[in-house]
């Protein structure tokens, strides 16, 4: 069975309209929030500017994205919503990656597509419209390096979850790089995750 992204998006849109009495959105095993992308970009790029663009903030933001992606999608695949909506579509282990990407699209992170997946070895994700790249361009103009730190970290996390050691031991066993970025003037953002080399 092919992965039905529309069905996953519909489940997220429906579920994210439900709040419990404390004003919290519990969905797919995590607590969700709806926050302006201006906030996230303000934090990320403000952090980078404050530390002098020397790669310090970049590394920490990618790490935060990867650790988040690892915990988030573990929560997602352990949830009853996954069991009910997503799991029936999954035929092999690689399908998990496609489902995770569908959920990322549903969360409004961008138009992510899996460009290439070599089981256990390599994942290539592309997108033409990510809020990090767009936000950077809008505020600071053309960048000289990739700016999509969250999605870059998440790309590594997806491989960690599917091909790394059992949760929670597998985080950071894969590392992603952003090989092209819309913020640099490239036609798309591209992320390649491969086994971390020491």
Q: Which H, E and C letters describe 101-137, residue by residue? A: HHHHHHCCCECCEEEEEECCCEEEEEECCEHHHHHHH
Cα 98 to Cα 101: distance, rounded to the nearest angstrom: 5
Confirm or reject binding of residue 68 to another protein (CB under 8 A). Answer: yes
CB nearer to another protein: give 48 or 178. Answer: 48
Cα 117 to Cα 15: distance, rounded to the nearest angstrom: 29
Confirm or reject binding of residue 129 to another protein (CB under 8 A). Answer: yes
Per the listing, tokens 């934090």 go with: 43
Distance of CA 78 to the CA centre of its chain: 17
Smallest distance, Å, CB 118 to another protein? 25
Determine the size of the site formed for another protein (CB under 8 A).
Answer: 50
Confirm or reject binding of residue 12 to another protein (CB under 8 A). Answer: yes
Smallest distance, Å, CB 49 to another protein? 10
Confirm or reject binding of residue 167 to another protein (CB under 8 A). Answer: no
User: Which range touches another protein (CB under 8 A), out of 56-64, 79-87, 90-98, 167-175?
Assistant: 56-64
Smallest distance, Å, CB 121 to another protein? 26
103-107 CB contacts, 8 Å cutoff, 24+ apart: 103/8, 103/12, 103/28, 103/73, 103/76, 104/151, 104/154, 105/5, 105/9, 106/5, 106/8, 106/9, 106/11, 106/12, 106/13, 107/12, 107/32
CB nearer to another protein: give 52 or 141. Answer: 52
Taking CB under 8 A as the rule, which mask of x and - marks residues 90-119 in contact with another protein?
A: ---------------xxxxxxxx-------
> Which tokens is 98 given?
């496609």
Binding site for another protein (CB under 8 A): 9, 12-13, 16-17, 19, 22-25, 30-40, 42-43, 46-47, 50-51, 56-57, 60-61, 63-65, 67-68, 71-72, 75, 105-112, 129, 131, 150
């Amino acid at each position: 069975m092919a992965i039905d992204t529309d069905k996953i998006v519909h489940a997220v849109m429906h579920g994210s309209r439900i709040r419990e009495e404390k004003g919290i959105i519990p969905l797919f095993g995590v607590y969700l929030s709806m926050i302006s992308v201006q906030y996230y970009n303000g934090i990320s790029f403000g952090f980078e500017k404050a530390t002098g663009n020397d790669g310090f903030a970049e590394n920490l933001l990618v790490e935060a994205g990867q650790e988040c992606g690892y915990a988030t999608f573990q929560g997602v695949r352990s949830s009853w919503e996954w069991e009910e909506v997503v799991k029936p579509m999954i035929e092999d282990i690689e399908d998990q990656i496609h489902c995770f990407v569908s959920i990322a699209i549903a969360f409004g992170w961008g138009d992510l597509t899996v460009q290439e997946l070599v089981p256990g070895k390599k994942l290539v994700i592309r997108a033409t419209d990510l809020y990090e790249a767009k936000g950077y361009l809008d505020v600071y103009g053309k960048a000289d390096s990739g700016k999509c730190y969250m999605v870059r970290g998440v790309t590594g996390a997806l491989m960690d979850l599917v091909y790394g050691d059992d949760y929670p031991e597998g985080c950071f066993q894969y590392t992603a790089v952003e090989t092209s970025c819309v913020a640099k003037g490239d036609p798309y953002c591209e992320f390649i995750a491969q086994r971390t080399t020491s």
